[in-house]
Amino acid sequence: MSTHIGAQMGDYADTVLLPGDPLRAKYIAEHFLTNVKQVNEIRNAFGYTGEYQGHRVSVQGSGMGIPSMSIYINELVQFYGVKTIIRVGSCGGMAPDVHLRDVLLASGSSTDSAVTANTFGPGVHYAPLADFGLLDTAYHEAQKMGITPKVGDIFAADRFYNDELDMKKLADYGVIGTEMESAGLYLLAAKLHFRALSVLTVSDLIFGDEKTTAAEREQTFNDMINISLATAIA
Ligand code: HPA
């Protein structure tokens, strides 16, 4: 076992879906996978390995934000040999043509987190990017399901509550949504040489007050999982 994961070597599949919420990991395992085995319960950061259409796939809760997620990614990749991580999460919509329940694919991720600056030092503003193969596959698998995802820059915020950030300016510069993880995922993917993609559903709007029902949110969440699992086994 590694420091924060109680699994044995070989317990995780090569490809891991990574929701922030451990209960979403449980939901995905129970509703989408067969032959499921729970592989982690330390700190209630639930992890499971099962099968999807005959392919071995794992799902692991990461917690919220880059620091928590990075712990799980480092251990999954360096200790358990994971090769592909697909984050499945929610985000706030920021572009005028982004609506509640839309599926967004993060082609890149800007951030106010210090992780990129701390990695490269002053003067370098590294641009963390998705794996293009995964991005291309997810886009086309979604289209086969009748869903056209919006693709673009996702702002990974260091703070959920931050009234000092100029979100309008970020939107003016083409940022389509905000969450708290993608830049950290893509930076680690570059560092540790694994493939990464963030697939997100819009749960709220940064400049509006549209609301969704619980049933609508569940349907959109299921769409996101279906796209991600199809991408995982493609
Ligand atoms: N901000 C940050 N993270 C989020 C949001 C948001 O508005 N919505 C879902 N995750």
User: Looking at residue 95, what is its pLDDT?
Assistant: 97
* Catalytic residue list contains 97: no
User: Looking at residue 176, what is its pLDDT?
Assistant: 98
Q: Is the CB of 203 under 6 A from ligand 1?
A: yes
Least Cα distance to 88 among 207, 4, 214, 203 occurs for 203
Among the atoms of ligand 1, which is closest to the Cα of residue 206?
7
Assess whether pLDDT exceeds 90 at residue 21. Answer: yes
Band the pLDDT of 3: cuts 50, 70, 90: very high
Residue 177 CA, ligand 1 centroid: distance in Å:
8
Which of 153, 204, 209, 223 is labelled catalytic?
A: 204
Q: Please list, residue by residue across 159-169, b when 16 or more beta carbons sit within 10 angstroms of its beta carbon and e when fewer do.
A: eeeeeeeebee
Assess whether pLDDT exceeds 80 at residue 16. Answer: yes
Least Cα distance to 130 among 122, 139, 121 occurs for 139
Mean pLDDT, the chain, whole residue set: 96
Q: Is the CB of 178 under 6 A from ligand 1?
A: yes
User: Looking at residue 209, what is its pLDDT?
Assistant: 80
pLDDT in tens, 55-84: 999 999 999 999 999 999 999 999 999 999
> From residue 149, how far is each of 40, 81, 200 by CA, in Å?
32, 30, 9
State the average pLDDT over residues 96-113.
96
Assess whether pLDDT exceeds 80 at residue 211. Answer: no
**pTM for the predicted model, two decimal places:** 0.97
